Amino acid sequence: MPPPERAATLMPHPHPTGDIPTFTSNLAKTIAQPCTVNVDSPQTDLFGRPLRDLRISVTDRCNLRCTYCMPREVFGPDHAFLPRSLILSYEEIARLTSIFVRLGTQKIRLTGGEPLLRKDLPNLVAQLAQQHPSTDLALTTNGILLHQEAARLHQAGLRRITVSLDALNPETFRRMSDSHGNPSDVLQGIHTAAVLGFSPVKINTVVRKSINENEILPIALRFNQPNFHVRFIEYMDVGNSNGWRLDEVVSAQRILEILQPLNLVPIPAAYPGEVATHYRTPTGAVIGVISSVTRPFCSNCTRARLTSDGRLFTCLFGNNSIDLRSPLRSGYSDEALAELIATTWNARSDRYSEQRFQADPNQPKPEMSVLGG
């Protein structure tokens, strides 16, 4: 039996309508025509950025209410989460993933909400690992349920995992997550993952001024070991519900100043489009800083995002999406779906972080819990 909190979180709710602008390209209406795009080669957008990374949200639900992601005043007891009928099945996710790989995707990351709330997630992991053994498969979790799920995930073929941990101090952890959770649960999950052989185990920390700024150095010191990569993330204006303000951002420069006692040495990017700037400590640990606000990296962004209800977003801050679930369920061929995805990516010109301060602050944006970060 799942714990009571988990069971309660998974209760169905009415489907929300009109919360995020969604459109289906006219191409979807005429996609039965012969392909005009080479769907057997890597795709690039208008700035030459390849379709290298795919983030797949498997659920819009979460067992925390982090203030920067799912603030409780918006995502409260009456919030309408997606009904199960609108969420992609594992078979549908696997089919779309195969099409993305065909178009050049090399990295797949499963996200949520909190992905470990999705029943039998290791079944999806096993299917993707078997179908795409040379593809980099990873998962991001808040870690609350990781201790009890890590072994099944590892057995299914998952080898890389990222855990969100915003504080070691219980009071600060509860303030950041707006929950009764305890960092000891997350730490237990991290330890279990490390023992099982997940390598590296990545730790993501969103830093918010005057709330968890003083957690930066303790977290870095706690995981100052070769098998861990810690990444500190500037607080971003994802979605419209978190009340983001620029003066609450702790800049990458300030984060590095706090980390000076670790004697960090810069290391080169592992691949084009890597979002974090990485450093190595004398003990062999890796520390990264993700600076979407103060040092935008849109020019190298290679990420597409698939929501749990089958919408394709080409930007974390994008206010438009392409519906893939409808053509998927109405009998479209793989060729037709591939052309729809390829044509969408070919027309991509997103670079929100480079234009953040010229953009309309009231423009609708999808919530982080929908896109999985």
Tens-place pLDDT, residues 133-149: 999 999 999 999 999 99
Per-residue confidence (pLDDT) for residue 67, from 0 to 100: 86
C-alpha span between 67 and 45 (Å, rounded) = 33
Angle of helix 121-131 relative to helix 146-156, nearest 10 degrees, comes to 30
What average pLDDT does the structure give for the chain?
87
Give the pLDDT confidence of 30-43 residue by residue, as tens digits. Answer: 444 556 788 888 99
Q: Which residue has the higher pLDDT, 351 or 291?
A: 291
Q: Which residue has the higher pLDDT, 80 or 155?
A: 155
* Sign of the C-alpha dihedral computed for residues 202, 112, 128 and 7 taken in this order: positive
**Contact residues for 159 (Cβ-Cβ < 8 A; gap 6+):** 137, 197, 198, 199
Q: And the tokens for 182?
A: 């305890």
Per-residue confidence (pLDDT) for residue 38, from 0 to 100: 87
- The helix (run of H) or strand (run of E) holding residue 175 is helix 170-177
Residue 26, pLDDT > 90, answer no
Per-residue confidence (pLDDT) for residue 354, from 0 to 100: 62
Give the pLDDT confidence of 69-117 residue by residue, as tens digits. Answer: 888 988 888 888 999 999 999 999 999 999 999 999 999 999 999 999 9
Q: Which of the residue ranges 78-82, 228-232, 355-359 would you say has the lowest mean pLDDT?
A: 355-359
Per-residue confidence (pLDDT) for residue 305, from 0 to 100: 95
Residue 46, pLDDT > 50, answer yes
Range of 86's domain?
A: 4-371
DSSP reduced 3-state for 81: coil
Residue 8 confidence class, pLDDT cut points 50, 70, 90? very low
Residue 182, pLDDT > 50, answer yes
Asked if residues 49 and 300 have their Cβ atoms less than 8 Å apart, the reply is yes
Q: How many alpha carbons fall within 13 Å on the CB side of residue 298? A: 20
**Contact residues for 70 (Cβ-Cβ < 8 A; gap 6+):** 62, 64, 241, 367, 368, 369
Asked if residues 125 and 110 have their Cβ atoms less than 8 Å apart, the reply is yes
Per-residue confidence (pLDDT) for residue 25, from 0 to 100: 44
Q: And the tokens for 350?
A: 């997103």
Domain harbouring 18, CATH code: 3.20.20.70
DSSP reduced 3-state for 303: strand
Per-residue confidence (pLDDT) for residue 79, from 0 to 100: 87
Sheet holding 303-306, edge to edge: 265-267, 277-280, 286-290, 228-234, 201-207, 160-164, 136-141, 107-111, 53-57, 303-306, 311-313, 322-323
Per-residue confidence (pLDDT) for residue 270, from 0 to 100: 81
Q: And the tokens for 112?
A: 């949520």
Q: How many alpha carbons fall within 13 Å on the CB side of residue 310? A: 22
Per-residue confidence (pLDDT) for residue 351, from 0 to 100: 80
Q: CA nearest 332: which of 13, 28, 117, 7?
A: 28
Per-residue confidence (pLDDT) for residue 10, from 0 to 100: 31
Q: What is the dihedral of CA 304, 307, 313, 318, to 10 degrees?
A: -120
Q: Annotate 5-34 with DSSP letters as a single string.
A: HHHHHT---PPP-SSS--B--GGGGSTTSP
**Contact residues for 191 (Cβ-Cβ < 8 A; gap 6+):** none
Backbone angles phi, psi at 196, to 5 degrees: -70, -20
pTM for the full predicted model: 0.87
Give the pLDDT confidence of 244-290 residue by residue, as tens digits. Answer: 788 899 999 999 999 999 999 999 988 777 888 999 999 999 999 99
Per-residue confidence (pLDDT) for residue 173, from 0 to 100: 97
- pLDDT (mean) for 356-373: 69
Considering just the CA atoms, what is the radius of gyration of the chain in Å?
20
Per-residue confidence (pLDDT) for residue 70, from 0 to 100: 86
Residue 19 confidence class, pLDDT cut points 50, 70, 90? very low
DSSP reduced 3-state for 331: coil
Give the pLDDT confidence of 289-345 residue by residue, as tens digits. Answer: 999 888 877 888 999 999 999 999 998 877 789 999 999 999 999 999 999 999 999
Domain count along the chain: 1
- pLDDT (mean) for 225-245: 83
Residue 204, pLDDT > 80, answer yes
C-alpha span between 18 and 364 (Å, rounded) = 11
Percentages helix, strand, coil for the chain (3-state, rounded to 5) are: 35, 15, 50
Residue 29, pLDDT > 50, answer no
Q: What percent of the chain has pLDDT over 70?
A: 85
Is the backbone peptide bond immediately before 243 cis, with ω within 30 degrees of 0? no
Backbone angles phi, psi at 282, to 5 degrees: -60, -20
Per-residue confidence (pLDDT) for residue 39, from 0 to 100: 87
Asked if residues 47 and 299 have their Cβ atoms less than 8 Å apart, the reply is yes
C-alpha span between 122 and 312 (Å, rounded) = 23
